[in-house]
Structure 1
Amino acid sequence: TATMNVPKGKYFDYLKADGTPAKPGDTLPIKVTIGNSDYQAQGKVQPDGNQIAVTNMPQIPKGATATVKFSLPAKVKHHGLLETTPVQDKPIGTITGDGQTYDLKTPAGKDFLAYILDPETGELVLEKVPSFVFELKNGQTGYRNPTVMEMVKGLPTPTANNWDQANADQWLTNQQGREPTNSTGKVLSVKDTRPTKQGWHLTMQLSPFTLTDNSYVLGDNGNKLGGKARLVLTDQTTQIAAIKDNNNATPVKNMAAGGTDWSLGTQTGNVAAYLGIEPTATAKAGQYQATATWLLTNAPE
């Protein structure tokens, strides 16, 4: 009975059947060819995460000469190299049986893997953006929709027009944790894997709040451009950005060069957001909605 031990190259991740990187304890299906016959074996990623042990190999007749062939799917990890780099990984593994151990070799007969890595450019990605359902705090634990009269008078009251923790309960808020049916989640996050880390800039624009049947724009007295509502993003204690519902792009985060990932909220706690409505001559009852558009650019402003 033969067993194989296959170390993982420094810059590689072995992949599971679903294409995700294999972790310690994961098992991988491996097709093994011995002579002219194919077999299905399994390899287990070892606790150090850097090698695979294949222990359920088919038996090979004792004393016989056999060539064992196999392959493992892998992908290059994020490596952060800034210039083209030749690499040699050695050893590439062993096969043991009948008290003997043999080095595995590449199809070219080498006992090392030789490859060249291109510089890694990485990527800048807006990973997640939140969706909000805004309601008015009602007592210690309850929430409710605002009345038409409250919307006409304005929320919060004119004396609390600037958000801070002390008057947070006077604003419409998403802190009950509800999400719309087409929700994109509760978290705002940017991922930056670029090795150069030249910074980035994130803006948001908000369309006018409109009744769901599109028949009325909030505060419409012949003006359908919006601007009567203001969405405030916070980190629970400090205002991050205030965006009016007038389709104007507003800065949310300006990451300086050298900075990296950034996020607001958690999937259980969500982004702390608040909504204020300016006093308006008219308001109509119903559910209002607006669309947030996010723009991530690859350098700070």
Structure 2
Amino acid sequence: MSAITSQMNGLFDAEYFDIKSQHVDDTFRIFVGKPAAIQPDTSYPTIFALDGNAAFSSLLGTQRMLTQGGEVPASFVIGIGYQGNTLMEAMTNRNRDYAPTEPGENEARALGGLIPAGGPAFLNFIQRELMPLLTERYPVDVSDSTIQGVSLGGLFAAWVLLAQPATFKRYILGSPALWWRDEQVWEWEEEYAARHTDIDATVFVSAGSLEIAEHVRAHAVAIAKETPALREYIESMIAWSDEHGWPEIAKLTPTFARRLSERRYPNLKIHCHNMVDENHMSAPPAMTSRGLRYVHGSWAA
């Protein structure tokens, strides 16, 4: 781990440091947003944001506003990101870390190439390296934690929920890529239910209401027209999806919540709320606000 903690200019009470993971064999950049006034002898909840390079500052700002409004408790916000000089460079390895199982041809096309299934190693990093380090360095209670993941990050969080749910107390699943491996998520769900009788967690799951085939295809066509550098790749994806089917995350999210609800796990609280008139890229800010309020009990669905 780097001994240097760097302050983040323009973000009050925020800093970052780098940690070399033994489980992943890569270096992560960890962003830390602290409560405004840390009280002595107090341990604070933690909110983990995947895609930290892109999502940390937005989630931190939303969390702080909701804390001022009394809807979310004062917390440490932890963004898990990567080193890099640009956002695209920093996010190069997120597909590796968020893939819970080996990708097939459809997944490889969507992600721009074959990747290893790094999800299990990434989960080990969070549990065995990052959480102990945060406990050592900050007054945090990692047993009182929330994870937010969007898209492939949402798939990773859904997989954790169905594999090792006690890792986090609260889950915010934003536009989770539940289409992965022909909706392999239902196999995970059935396997968990066959071996367990409870999930002790509060879960908010959401997508943009426009994340259905008609709108996703139209958006892809528009991007291909407006982005010459990506046109050939996107047009090949359009042709593939026309033949094999388009992902419709807005239809999968309520099914996910309903299936888990029907198990009647005594300590599971789960709700799906799709964001009206939002798409895959525009929905996350709304998901963060509504999700944080739901999992902390200040918004009753």
What TM-score bracket applies, with the shorter chain setting the length? under 0.3
Q: Which has the higher helix share?
A: 2
TM-score of the pair, normalised by structure 1:
0.19
Report which of the two structures shows the higher radius of gyration computed on alpha carbons.
1
TM-score of the pair, normalised by structure 2:
0.19
Q: Which has the higher strand share?
A: 1
